[in-house]
Structure 1
Amino acid sequence: MYSPTHRIVFRWWKISLRSEYRTTKPGEVRETHEDFLENSHLQGKVDFLERLSDNLLLSIMSYLDLEDICRLSQTSRKFAKLCVCDQLWEQIVHSTCDTITPDMRALAEDIGWKAMFFTNKLQLQRQLRKRKQKSESHKPAPADQP
């Protein structure tokens, strides 16, 4: 049911490589539903960013700061889903780590790339060591040779 207290909220971000825009906060306009219906300028806004493919959006998002990813996740269901997906966090881990070993990749596939990113290095080393010990204990013992 319609309520006069309903508000329409528009949010936008300035996407630029220029350093002066790095600290620019997202813009926002809040209008009552009635004002929205009377303002043809607001009704004409189209979110072209959400129309981009998920792969392209994930590539763009991988360059964002963590704070910006958090904010972006609050803008729509689509971005909330993309901001937690493993594909995004795998790209972020690859951009922040010098090397991804096969053991690290296997661990990330077990616990998730986002969890791996937020796990501190000591905990990661411990988990990798445990994983290696576990895999070695499951290997069959070599047969005795004459």
Structure 2
Amino acid sequence: MASWLPETLFEIVGQGPAPSKDYYQILVKRSQVIFRWWKISLRSEHRSAQPGEVKETHEDFLENSHLQVQIALIFGERVLDYIFNLCEGKFDFLERLSDNLLLSIISYLDLEDIARLSQTSRRFAKLCMCEKLWEQIVKSSCDTITPDMQALAEDMGWRKMFFTNKLQLQQQLCKGKQNHGNHIEKE
């Protein structure tokens, strides 16, 4: 399965914590971790500093506590933990799926499962609240979507439309038709 992975598994670039102006990059490749830095300083003694680079195999990175501390200070513990998992061969394939593909998959779940999934991560919370998902759900659960229903859903939101009961929807559609009719009479 690892052969399906791209050569670069992870990359992040960032600036060191204040007051540092230095820039850092981490690349996690299939077989190595590359840590690069660029010193940015107005001080004359640091102006001629060359960019630096450290390359470690995954196994050597897991043993290099000095490099791990630097990464944690610059990018945080979560990034360090993620890099650890990659170096240990623990790949998060779900993280690599596109939002569109995940939305298609989520649209087949029961409402209770969507609610539970939305609590697992920020990404899934965002996807589970996404109008595109609820549009798919509404369209798959309704036999027909009239142009009036489409306009109402785009106005009020597909999610809200899904959770609005039928009587309220009919009232909203009637109001929309009346408002549209009154608008035509005024012209």
Q: TM-score, normalised by structure 1?
A: 0.66
What is the SS of the residue equivalent to 1:126?
Answer: helix
Post-superposition Cα deviations, 1:59-79, rounded to whole Å, max 9, x if no partner, equal 000000001101111111111
The ranges of structure 1 where at least 4 consecutive aligned residues each deviate by more than 2 angstroms after the TM superposition are 43-47
Aligned residue number for residue 100 of structure 2: 55
**Higher strand proportion, which one?**
2
Partner of residue 130, structure 1: 175
Partner residue, 2:160 = 115
CA deviation digits over 1:40-70, x for unaligned, max 9?
Answer: 8xx6433211210111000000000001101
Unaligned runs of 5+ in 1: 1-35
> Please, which of 105, 115, 136 is the counterpart of residue 70 of structure 1?
115
Q: Which has the larger radius of gyration?
A: 2
Q: Distance in 2 between matches of 1:70 and 1:63?
A: 13
How far apart are 1:141 and its partner, in Å? 5.6
Give percent identity, aligned residues only.
74
RMSD: 2.5
* Greater relative CO, 1 or 2 (CA 8 Å, sep 6+): 1
Deviations along 1:110-132, one digit per CA (max 9) or x if unpaired, are 11000000000000000000011
Instruction: Please say if 1:89 is aligned against 2:142.
Output: no
What is the CA–CA distance in structure 1 between the aligned matches of 2:165 and 2:91, rounded to whole Å? 41
Q: State the number of aligned residues.
A: 106
100, 115, 121: which one aligns with 2:145: 100
Query: 1:45 and 1:75 mapped to 2: Cα distance?
Result: 19
1:92-125 superposed Cα distances (whole Å, 9 cap, x missing partner): 0011000000000000001100000000000000
**3-state secondary structure, aligned to 1:135:** helix
